[in-house]
Structure 1
Amino acid sequence: MDRTTRTAALWATIVAVPVAVIVALVAISALPDAEPEAAPSSGAPRPVPTTPVEMAAPTLGTDETVACRALTSQLPVTLRDLPQRPVSAGPEQNVAYGEPAITVACGGDQPSFLATDLVYPLSGVCWHATETASGSTWTTVDRRVPVTVTIPKDYESPGQWTTEFSATIASTLLSREDVPTGCRS
């Protein structure tokens, strides 16, 4: 072998070996781990306090009590990744989720609002929203038994959280005959 051929072979080896090592390392890093670490599930409930959420429990008539028990029995145990929490009063009419707590209160007085106020037909239920210092309160305006959902400011898009309850409310609670104009299809 002449000197030129040997020099070329030496340079080819000097270049090829590191390139081969780099390609091997990239290929190995792209392979899945044999035993992947358990990643936390995005759907796993967040840790929340076990103390009851403070809620009022107004006295309900017989029909309201039956309707509210039917509703609360159908509400999910977990709302997205927020687990249900105990409530201080009226577990047959009140439900709470997460920390800070999103609350659902069934029964009570029909909401009053101006005819010019916006109402939101969301997923089969018509809601009236009121902004508060701590968040927003959404109340059904098309059900014989009203339902109020309170969404703390910590949660974005409160209307989207409210729709989580719409299908259950629509299938459980009877509609009123005198619904606001904005609720009619």
Structure 2
Amino acid sequence: MDEITSSSDNTDSSGRTDGADGPTQGPPRRDRANRRAALVATLIAVPVTVAVAGFTLAKLAPGTPAAEPAPSATSARPQSTAPVEMAAPKLPDRPEIVCRALTSQLPSTVRGLGQRPVTAGPEQNAAYGDPALTVACGGDEPAPGSTDDVWVVNKVCWYAVEGPDATVLTTLDRETAVRVTVPHALGSALQWVSPISDVVVASVPSGGAVPAGCTG
């Protein structure tokens, strides 16, 4: 059997290999190349790591607060909570019962206007928003002078009278009158009586002759 001879006899501890033409440089070149590649990789990785860390901190840091949403028809508006001054005349027994039924079913908000306390007669009066939209129950219904000012909203007939600061709408087809006063600052008055009309239909019986123009 031929004897296998190790080549390590010609290699010294520095990694040089003696050959016929003299010593040649071996593994140290590869080591330097590997170290150089590692250094380049490190130089690239450090700024990338810093950039990633900065991005992460930016994501975690609190941002600029979002602007407050503007009030809409379905969101509550900022308003005074002071009681709204309203009169409360003494009502006969039957209208008092009807008005209590009405006020007990009124919503807590009307198109984003929150309900406010009143100075008198909460069993017959209600108020919303600032400037205040008011609802008053009781008394006789008016006799409209013209059908041009008569409007039917959600099956309730309303008579509109324009004032200097507000529109007053009064029912014409109910057992007892319901009056809604809408400040001009709130815009079109008819849009505000729409949710109130639903409560009127549910709580105030119709009565008397239906005036001309009330065809709803």
Q: Shorter-chain-normalised TM-score: which range?
A: 0.7 to 0.9
Aligned to 1:81: 112
What secondary structure does 1:154 align onto?
helix
Which position in structure 2 is the counterpart of 1:106? 137
Contact 2:147 2:212 in 1 (8 A): no
User: Is 1:159 matched with 2:190?
Assistant: yes
1:51 to 65, 75, 82: 82
Aligned position for 1:62: 93
The reply on whether 1:123 has 2:123 as its aligned counterpart is: no
Identity over aligned pairs, percent: 49
How much does 1:115 deviate?
A: 5.1
What does residue 24 of structure 1 align with? none
Aligned residue pairs total 152
Structure 1 residue 172 corresponds to structure 2 residue 207: no
Quick check: 2:149–2:161 contact (8 Å CA) kept in 1?
no
- The root-mean-square deviation of aligned C-alpha atoms, in Å, is 2.0
Letter in 1 for 2:138: G
Q: Structure 2 CA distance, aligned partners of 1:63 and 1:53?
A: 26
95-104 or 164-173, which deviates more: 164-173
For normalisation by structure 1, the TM-score amounts to 0.75
Give the structure-2-normalised TM-score.
Answer: 0.65
* 2: CA distance, partners of 1:51 / 1:136: 22
Which whole-Å CA distance do the structure 2 matches of 1:85 and 1:107 have between them? Answer: 20
Deviation at 1:112, TM superposition (A): 2.8
Secondary structure of the 2:149 match is coil
Equivalent-residue separation in structure 1 for 2:214 and 2:159 (angstroms): 10
What is aligned with 1:72?
103
Q: What are the within-5 Å matches in structure 2 for residues 24-39 of structure 1?
A: none
1:184 corresponds to 2:204: no
Look at both structures and tell me which one has the larger radius of gyration over its CA atoms.
2
Distance in 1, matches of 2:131 and 2:195, equals 17
In structure 2, the CA distance between the partners of 1:179 and 1:135, relative to structure 1 (3 Å rule), is same
What is the identity, as a one-letter code, of the residue corresponding to 2:183?
P
Deviations 1:31-80 (A, max 9, x none): xxx99959547433222222110111111111111111101111100112
Structure 1: any 5+ residue segments left out of the alignment?
1-33
2:194 and 2:139 map into 1 onto residues whose CA distance is 21
Q: Bigger relative contact order, structure 1 or 2, given CA contacts below 8 A and separation 6+?
A: 1
- Confirm whether residue 145 of structure 1 aligns to residue 189 of structure 2: no
Q: Take 1:105 and 1:112, find their aligned partners in 2: how far apart are those partners?
A: 18
> Which segments of 5 or more consecutive residues in structure 2 lack a partner in the other structure?
1-61
2:115 and 2:128 in contact (8 A); partners too: yes
